[in-house]
Amino acid sequence: MSQAYIKPVSKFQKYRRNKQQKGMRLLRLWVPDTHSAVFKKEIKRETALLRRAPEQLEATRFIQSAFDWPKL
């Protein structure tokens, strides 16, 4: 009698199956590389635009009032 080969289940497969059974699903997400020169250049451009925007001061005041910033 020959025995059928049963492929072992990896710990990652077990982990994923356990999460799925708990109602979770895997989500892979790409985010900007904050170390790239392109990203840094774009952030500088956007912050320069914000500095000149009249609504920037109002938004900053709102953020500061909504959050209890630590005293330095």
pTM of this prediction exceeds 0.85: no
Instruction: Show me where the domains of the chain are located.
Output: 33-66
Is the pLDDT at 31 greater than 60? The verdict is: yes
What distances in angstroms separate CA 37 from CA 9, 14, 34, 44, 47, one per listed residue?
42, 40, 8, 11, 15
Secondary structure letter of residue 53 according to DSSP = -
pLDDT tens digits for range 45-64: 998 988 878 888 888 888 88
Highest mean pLDDT among 4-8, 27-31, 56-60: 27-31
SS3 2: coil
* Whole-number average pLDDT of the chain: 87
